[in-house]
Amino acid sequence: MKQYNSIKAKYPDALLLFRVGDFYETFGEDAVRASKILDIVLTKRGAGSASETALAGFPHHSLNTYLPKLVKAGLRVAICDQLEDPKLTKTIVKRGVTELITPGVAFNDEVLQSKSNNFLCAVHFGLQRIGIAFLDISTGEFLTTQGDESLIDKLLQNFSPSEILISKPKKKSFADAFGDAHHTFYLEDWAYQIDFSREILTRHFQTQSLKGFGIESLEEGIVASGAILHYLSETQHHRLQHISAIHRIPEEEYVWMDRFTMRNLELYFTPHPGGTTLLDVMDKTITPMGARMLKRWIAMPLKHIKKIERRLNVVAHFLASEIELQTVRKQLKQTGDLERLLSKAATAKISPREVYQLYLSLES
C-alpha cells in the first residue's frame, strides 16, 4: 500500500483507480464511494489486520463502462496505470497517473452529450473586471472575454459549464456573486497571474503575443484562459494540438439573457415534467455539430440586422430549393461528429472504429 498511498497523496481530491493486474481497484473512502455509485461489491483488504481497509474494483476492460458513471456523479477520477510490464521486473511494478478525468475534461462518449458542448470554465476576479474563459476539450473550442458581474453571470447561464475553476482565495467571492449551484474546483492563487498566463498561452500557440487572436488587451480574460491550460497540464492532458486558436466572445453582437429570462422562455430547459422546450421544437438537425450550433444560436440571439438577414437568406434559399435541401441533408447524414473525432485523433484517444468513422465522414 506504500506505493498507492504515495500516489493518492498527490491527488487527494480525486478518486484513484489503481491498476493491479487485470483490475482497477479502489481503497478506503474511494472504495466506499465507488461501490455505492457503481453498485459493485465492497470488500476488505487485509481483513482482521492492522492494515485492514475497504476495497472495491472492476476488470480493466470495463473502464469505459464504469468511468462515465463516476464522472457523471461529479467526481474527479485519476487513472493510475502500470508503466512497465510486470513480467520484466522483479520488484514492485512502476505505476503512475496517466490521466485525470473531471466533469469538464472528458473525451468519453458516455460522459459527453452529443448535442451539447462540455465546457470547462475559469473565472478570474480582477480589480475592476472579471475575466472568464471557456474550453470544450472535446471540440477544441476556446473562448474568452471580461466584463462586470452581470455579464459573467449571463455567460455562465448561456454556456452552462460542467466545471468552473476558481482561485482558492476567491471561493467566497464567487459564491456570493454567482451562487453555489455550480460544480467548482479551486486552484492555487499563483496560477492566476498575468505573466504566467501570457507565457503559457503564447507557448501553447507558439506565438510572440496574443494580438493575432484579438485578446491582447483582455488581461482578466487572459488570466482565466491561462488557468485553463494550466489545469489541463495538471490533469495530464498534454496532447492539445487541436486547440489551435482562442477567440474573444463579442458580447456586443448578441442579446444576453439573464437566468430568469432563459428559464421563463424555456429555451432548452423546462421545469415542467414532460414539458417541451423551444430547442425541442426547432431541432431538426442531422449532425451533432449542427445541434450544438443551433443550441448556441438560441442561447445567443444575434443583435445586428445584417447578420440576421444573412442567416435568414440561407434559410430562405433552402426552403425555395427542396431538391438541394434534401441533397445536403443526405450528405450530412453520412457525416459523423467531425469536431470530436478530429479532437480524439489529435489527442491519440481515437479507437479503430472511430478512425473508420472519420474516414467515412471525410469521404462523404
pLDDT at 86: 75
Domain boundaries, the chain: 2-101, 120-253, 281-363
CA angle (356, 108, 60) in 5-degree steps: 95
- pTM confidence score: 0.88
Instruction: Report the SS3 class of residue 134.
Output: strand
Rounded mean pLDDT of the chain? 91
Which residue positions in the chain have pLDDT lower than 70? 47-48, 50
Read off the pLDDT of residues 123-158 as tens digits, 9 standing for 90 and up.
Answer: 999 999 999 999 999 999 999 999 999 999 999 999
Please give the class, per CATH, of domain 2-101.
alpha beta
Residue 17 grid coordinates: 483507480
Q: Would you identify the CATH topology of the domain 281-363? A: MutS, DNA mismatch repair protein; Chain A, domain 3 (1.10.1420)
Q: What's the rounded Cα separation, in Å, for the pair 312 and 193?
A: 44
Q: What's the rounded Cα separation, in Å, for the pair 358 and 343?
A: 11
pLDDT at 52: 81
Q: Which long-range contacts (CB under 8 A, 24 or more apart) does 79-83 make?
A: 79/17, 79/19, 79/24, 80/7, 80/16, 80/17, 80/18, 80/19, 81/19, 82/19
Whether the Cβ atoms of residue 113 and residue 106 lie closer than 8 Å to each other: no
pLDDT at 186: 94
Closest alpha carbon to 224 in 178, 165, 172: 165
- The CATH code of domain 120-253 reads 3.30.420.110
pLDDT at 240: 92
Instruction: Report the SS3 class of residue 275.
Output: coil
